Each structure stands twice: as structure tokens, then as C-alpha cells.
Structure 1
């Protein structure tokens, strides 16, 4: 059983919680911490969440897909319940979604998402929102489910910029030579990430370990760049196959010669900026499992593409209520 995050410190208690011998000042601090926590984590019945959820109408039964159902009272939290005319099972608007069986109000996702969009670390988010660290990781996994196919249908067109950036594996996974020294350069310890933008949309995908290759570049971008677009990129030879396959107009620049050139004069600035923000985003969560890197890239692309931070929150909550995917806490942490 993996208990890495199953039990974590409470953000509600202090060293003096339940201590009858605590001083008056210690009791005072303890009471205020408890009050702040309670204000941050209201019971579902104390929120207006039911009004939000009851404004949505199910389209079909989440269990069998049948489109005919009837009203079946309400839950103890005031959310409308329905009964399927085919399988006769009861459900609500959040059954089968990432919010199924949730104990913390959906409204807390607003703070959670805003912190993510500001590139805050998980520890910082946990402290800011007074959530357990495990809760932050659990919610992130749910968010990954919602965004799992976010980039699938994004196609860049017009003037398109592409580049590769590299991100190192975690320290415990670094492979060394027989003599104990690390491999140098673009080795198996470096994960290649292909990133592209047309000024309106941004995409980012893992390409494997080590150096750029023509086949991997083609596989990464083939379905995400419109044929005949104008491609602006560096002189990486691995891009040639992509240019030929999609009949792209190629405009290349020597990235080394552009170092030190003012931003306003740098033709690769648009893609350089995306690479900069990607590294900043990943570095805010540097200890993450690299097997989840693509999930982080999906989230990064969403942040880059979807309006301001409040519009992003709106889309996340809207998509979450319609995404037929759910994740049990124990399935995440207790296998």
C-alpha cells in the first residue's frame, strides 16, 4: 500500500490543541487558527453549492447512458437526485464526475486553480488554502483527468514557431556511467519537450529522452500544425522531416547567434517566451514524478491558451461537471 500522501499533517491543529495546560495566549492562537480553518472549509450544507449544481440538468444516466429519467428528491445537501427509467439507479449531476462523493466544497477549487495558474508550488498551495498536502495532490490528479485530451485537437496555423527544451529527470533517477560520473549533454537524463505556438494557441508534448530526432519531431507535431503554414524555428536538423511532410514554408535562424540580441529584434522571441514560462511552471513543481510530465504539459498548455485566470477557473469547473471521469482517493494513494 502506498501511503506517501495518505496521512499528512492537519492545517487545523496547533501544538496546543487539546492541551489543558496551555497558556491563555496559546489557547487564543489555537482558537483563531481553528476559526480560520473553519471559515476556509465550510460544510457543504453551509454553502450555496446546491444552487449551482441544481442549475444544471443531466443529459443521460451516468451508469447506463439512458436519456430518460425522473426526479427523485434531493440529497441531504439539497442537490437534486434523479432515477433512471432504464437501470433504475439514482444519481445527481455530479455522479460519475471528479466531484462525486466530494467532502470539500467545489467552491474551494476556485482558490486551488488560481494558485496553480500563478505557478505556486504544491506546498505553498497547501498552506495558502489550509488543505492537507495530500488533498492538493489528489485534486491535481483529478484536474489531470479533465485535461487529459485537452491538446488532442489543437492545430496551429499561419505563422508557427516550434522549438525543443529539455527537462532533467529527478535526482534519484539519474543514470551514471560505469565510472560513476553523469552522462553529459543531451543524454538519457534529459527529457525532450517539443513546444509550439502560433501566437494564439500553444502546445507542448514529451518527445522522449536525449537529442532531437526527425521521426520524433514529426510524430509530435504532424497532427498539430496545418499543412502549408509558415514555420519559424532554429536550425535544428530534426525539423527537416516535418517541414517536408507538411509542406511548410521554412524560416530558420541560428539560435546561438541570437543570444544577447534584444527581445524586440529576436525573431524567435515568441517561442523563447513559451519555453521560459514552461520551465518556470515545471520548476515550481520540480520534484514531480516524470511519468506524469505529459499531464503537466497539458495543464501548462491550458494555462497559456484559455484567457485570464478567472475564465480558466470557469472552464475548469464547467468541463469538470461534464467530464465522465472520476477518481477515488484510495485508488490514488492506497494501492
Structure 2
């Protein structure tokens, strides 16, 4: 897409972006991000158009962007809103080209968004009826170069893969009642029971396929009150309430989401999947979440 068209037609107005940020962030009144006081003086505007404030309690200065994902980045706020919106459907390289911006600069902003999404994903605790399934993703060392050779790409092997073989396993965990999904990149699957024990917050009814890594899990993890197993090898996809169809559904979203990047580094794969988790779990509200929660102070 022509970058001038992006700037003239598709970029939001700066004033609208700032007004939306204020509405989300200060919905209970302007509050000092350092001491929490509501005794605030308005004190002009920054060069980016953000309002400046002075706290009457602690005497510190801040503005609308202080502590948010927009803080400490040189892009105009309308461009950062554009990046957030387009991250759902476009690669970082494509967005940087559309904006006419340095790829590494855009990537740094994207990675900060991923960090916020990772904080969200780590807060998902498993309880109730839970499905667990594994999927294998082609992910090598994209972006890393070795002397005299191009970057390493994930191998195109069929079937189950390994971290070392550039096809790391990903656990897909779905809470049926809410429903919410969490994706977890694994170095190997030998430690799956130990990881599940960490993630389970309450009593669960666990649904898996017949893969041997889940065998005996109800005996080893006290909070697993029932373990339902479906045998895909025998063509069994559901038996009453025993199935992992929710995981299969989310795995479809995962594959489609990663396809647009034409390769993702396995080093940063978890961040991409945490962002996808946020998109799927907070449909229509993920942007507000990024703006209002986990503010850096």
C-alpha cells in the first residue's frame, strides 16, 4: 500500500487518539501514576499533544502517555494506534513499510505490546473443565545470521517436532466455561505434567487425547479430579463431553495468525502467541486492556 495513502486516508486523527486514551485511562479521574493521588493540576501540553499534569501530593510531573505503551517511543501517537490496529492482520515488516518507518523501531514497539500481552496470559489460571492439546509450529531462528550463510529457517518436516529441530511444540489450553485460551511454547513435552501443576489454580476436569505424556496425570496432580481421554488414532473425536475440539479450533486460529509473518523466530514465538491469546479472549476489548492495564510506572 502507498505510504502517502496510509498517512492521508488511514491514520486516525491525533486528537481522537489522545481523547480515546484519556477516556480509557482517566475514567475515574486523572490519577498520579507515582503516588495514586487525585489532587492534580493540569499544566499545558507536550509536543505530541498529550496533556501535562503536576501532582499536588508528591510534586512529580507526568502526562497522558506516562507509563503507557506509548511512552518512550518517538512515533506520533496516531502511528502507534495504527500499528496496534494492524498487528491483528499484518506483519511488522508490512506495517513498517506502510508507515515508511525503520523496521527495528516498529519491532521494538511490537515487542513491548507482546510483553504486555504476556503479562495478561500469565494471569490465566486453569480451573473447571479444561482442554489440553499440542500443536507443532515451524519456527527457526528468523533474523539471526551466520557468517557466509542466510538466516536459518524452520525445517519443513511432517508430524511431531522438537525445539532443536526448529519445530517447537506448543501446548494449547482452553477453559471451556469462560472460554479462554492460553498458548505455551515448550522446549520439550517431558515436563508437561510439572507445567500443568503450576498453571492449575483450582479443581479441573481435564480433557486430552491419548498421547502418552498425559498418562497418569490424575494420579500425579491432586487438583485433576477427572481425566477424560479421546483416541484420535481410532477415529474418536468426541465421546459425550470428552473432546479437545476447543483446542482444535484455537489451533486453527494460531496457524492462520502465524502464516502472515512468513516465519517467526522461536525465541520470540511466545510473545506472538500471547498477543493472539489476548485477541481471542478479549474480542472487542483487547485495545482497551492494553491501554488501561499493566501500566508501567
Q: Tell me whether the two structures share a fold, i.e. TM-score over 0.5.
A: yes
Match of 1:74 in 2: 45
Deviation of 1:305 after TM superposition, in Å, equals 0.8
Match of 1:231 in 2: 206
Match of 1:207 in 2: 186
SS of alignment partner, residue 256 of structure 1: helix
Which structure has the highest strand share of the two? Answer: 2
Q: What pairs up with 1:88-167 in 2 under 5 angstroms?
A: 88-118=59-89, 120-126=90-96, 132-167=102-137
Deviation of 1:220 after TM superposition, in Å, equals 2.5
Could you give the per-residue CA deviations for residues 92-123 of structure 1, whole angstroms, max 9, x where no partner exists? 121232212545443444543343324x3334
Deviation of 1:36 after TM superposition, in Å, equals 5.4
Asked if the contact 2:13–2:78 (Cα under 8 Å) also holds between the matched residues in 1, the reply is no
| TM-score w.r.t. length of structure 2 | 0.74
Match of 1:293 in 2: 269
Q: What pairs up with 1:18-97 in 2 under 5 angstroms?
A: 33=4, 37-40=7-10, 44=14, 47-55=15-23, 56=26, 57-62=29-34, 65=35, 67=37, 69-85=40-56, 88-97=59-68
Asked if the contact 1:160–1:198 (Cα under 8 Å) also holds between the matched residues in 2, the reply is yes
Deviation of 1:70 after TM superposition, in Å, equals 3.5
Asked if the contact 1:61–1:84 (Cα under 8 Å) also holds between the matched residues in 2, the reply is no
**Which protein has the larger Cα radius of gyration, Structure 1 or Structure 2?**
1
Matched, 1:195 2:172: yes
d(CA) in 2 for partners of 1:235, 1:316: 38
Query: Which runs of 5 or more residues in structure 1 are unaligned?
Result: 1-9, 13-32, 177-181, 326-335
- Cα 1:217–1:83 change in 2 (3 A) is same
Deviation of 1:85 after TM superposition, in Å, equals 4.8
Match of 1:280 in 2: 256
d(CA) in 2 for partners of 1:306, 1:54: 20
Matched, 1:324 2:293: no
d(CA) in 2 for partners of 1:142, 1:123: 16
- Cα 1:146–1:300 change in 2 (3 A) is same
Deviation of 1:304 after TM superposition, in Å, equals 1.7
d(CA) in 2 for partners of 1:52, 1:185: 45
| TM-score w.r.t. length of structure 1 | 0.67
Asked if the contact 1:61–1:69 (Cα under 8 Å) also holds between the matched residues in 2, the reply is no
- Cα 1:165–1:86 change in 2 (3 A) is same
d(CA) in 2 for partners of 1:299, 1:222: 23
Let me know the Cα RMSD of the aligned residues. 3.7
Deviation of 1:124 after TM superposition, in Å, equals 3.8
Match of 2:147 in 1: none
Asked if the contact 1:160–1:196 (Cα under 8 Å) also holds between the matched residues in 2, the reply is yes
